[in-house]
Amino acid sequence: MKKIYTKWNILDYIFFIMDQLVNLAIEYKTEPDVECMIEAETKYLKAENNSLKELQYPKKVIKDERNYCCPNSKCKKEISSVLIEKYKIKFCPECGQRIYYLTTSRRVDNEAEECQRLSS
């Protein structure tokens, strides 16, 4: 604490010191607790990590007649059939959900392979 007072009486000096002490106490109380901040940040990062892991489990694309939709319950955005059928995308372009879609031709191929495997 600097001595900025000059020619003050003792009462002014006492008030000044008390004011400084109160200000220090207020600063000390309002300062955020570092442990709490670290704990809160860790909790947030764990939750974010878990949500990102959930996106890594592939889910089957929802198909209604002509439209394809993202299987993620939070997204549900329509995905272009060109992206699914021609480019065979593996992730939702909106949310990054891992997706899969079995076309009928692939199913036929799988069945043909299975018939060959069983017959041999």
Query: Residue numbers of the site for Zn ion (CB under 5 A)?
Result: 70, 72, 75, 92, 94-95, 97
**Could you give the CA distance from residue 62 to residue 70 in angstroms, rounded to a whole number?**
6
Task: Give, as one character, the DSSP assignment of residue 91.
Answer: B
For the CB of residue 70, give the shortest distance to Zn ion in the complex, in Å: 3
Q: Which is nearer to Zn ion, 9 or 73 (CB)?
A: 73
Q: Which is nearer to Zn ion, 95 or 102 (CB)?
A: 95
For the CB of residue 50, give the shortest distance to Zn ion in the complex, in Å: 18
Given the structure tokens 């329509």, which residue do they identify?
78
Q: Which is nearer to Zn ion, 22 or 95 (CB)?
A: 95
**Could you give the CA distance from residue 72 to residue 100 in angstroms, rounded to a whole number?**
12
For the CB of residue 104, give the shortest distance to Zn ion in the complex, in Å: 24
CA angle 114, 117, 120 (to 5 degrees): 145
